[in-house]
Structure 1
Amino acid sequence: MFDRFVKPLACASVAVFLTACAASGPKFATVENTLPAVADNAGRVFFYREYSSFGAGMRPDIFACGSKVGESIPGGMFYADLPAGDCEITIPSVMYPGERKIKVTIGTPKVIYFKTWMGASSFGGRTNIEEVSAGEAIEAMQDLALTNEKKN
C-alpha cells in the first residue's frame, strides 16, 4: 500500500524538478519578427539548446569575445549582437577542467547559429557546441523560450 503512494509522488517530484530546469520566456516563434535589426558594424549570434532531461539542471555560461553573453538552458535560446571581426566562443566545463572553444568571424555572414547540448562522459555532462545552418536553427528554435534577460 505504501508503494502505491510513494512511486507516483516520486515521479511527480522528478517531473516538477525537470520542468523547473527548463527555460522560461516568450517563444521564439512569437518574437522572431520583432527582433531589432543588426547594426551595420556588427553580427548576430544565436545560441539554442533543445530540451532534454539529461543534464537538465546544468546551465553553463557561454562567453563570446571575452564577455558572458548568456547561458545554455534546456529549452531556451538567446542571441547576442557582437562587433564585426574575429571572436572566440567559449563554454567552460562545469564538472571538470576544460572548455569548448570555437573561433568565428562575426558579421560574415551577418547572422550565425549555434546549437548546444549536454554530452555524456564518464564523469558527467560536458556542453557541446556546433554551428548549424539557419534553416535547421530557425526550425529548432520555434518552440524554445527567448532567455536574453538571463545574461548575468
Structure 2
Amino acid sequence: MLNRYVKPLSCMAITLLLTACAASGPKFASVKDAMPAVADNTGRLFFYREYAAFGSGMRPDIFACGAKVGESIPGGVFYADLPVGECEIAIPSVMYPGERKMMVTVGTPKVQYFRTWMGASSFGGRTNIEAATEEAALKAIQDLALTNEKKN
C-alpha cells in the first residue's frame, strides 16, 4: 500500500527541487518598458539563461570588465550598464579549473545580448557563453525572470 504513494511523492519532491533552482523575479516582458534608458558613454549587456534541468542547481558568477555583474541563473535574465570600450567577459568554472572568456566592445552596438547555458563534460558542467542576436534574445527572454539584484 505504501508503494502507491512513493512514486507520486518522489515526483513532487523532484519537481519542487528543480523549481527552487529557477530564477525568481518579475517577467522581463512585464518590466521591459519601465527599464531606464542606457546612459551616454555606456553600453548595456544582457545575460540570459533559459531553463534546463541539467545544471539547474549551478549559478556561476559572471564578470565583465573585472567586476562581478551577476549570476547565470536558469530561467533568468539580467543586464549590466558598463563604460564604452573594450571589456572581457569571464565565467569561472565551478567544478574544475578554467573559465570561459570573450572580449567585447561595450557600446557597439549600444545594447548587446549574451546567452549562457550549462555544457556537459566528463568532469561536470561548465557554463558556456555566446553572443546572441537581438531578435533571438528578445524572443528567448520575454518569459524569463529579471534578476537584477544587488551584485556582491
Equivalent in the alignment of 1:151: 151
Paired residue type of 1:11: C
| Structure 1 position 134 matched with structure 2 position 134 | yes
Equivalent in the alignment of 1:101: 101
Contact kept? 1:79, 1:148, Cα under 8 Å: yes
Equivalences for 1:2-81 in 2 at 5 Å? Answer: 2-81=2-81
Q: What is the deviation of 1:76?
A: 0.2
Gaps in structure 2 of 5+ consecutive residues: none
TM-score, scaled relative to structure 2: 0.98
* SS of alignment partner, residue 38 of structure 1: coil
Cα distance in 1 between the residues matched to 2:108 and 2:150: 27
Aligned residues: 152
* SS of alignment partner, residue 19 of structure 2: helix
Cα distance in 1 between the residues matched to 2:54 and 2:150: 21
Cα distance in 2 between the residues matched to 1:86 and 1:76: 25
* SS of alignment partner, residue 149 of structure 1: coil
Paired residue type of 2:117: W
TM-score, scaled relative to structure 1: 0.98
Residues 66-91 of structure 1: CA deviation (Å, up to 9, x unaligned): 00000000000000000000000000
Equivalent in the alignment of 1:85: 85
Q: What is the deviation of 1:150?
A: 4.8
Cα distance in 1 between the residues matched to 2:124 and 2:2: 33
Paired residue type of 1:30: S
Cα distance in 1 between the residues matched to 2:18 and 2:82: 32
Cα distance in 2 between the residues matched to 1:3 and 1:56: 29
The CA RMSD over aligned residues, in Å, is 0.8
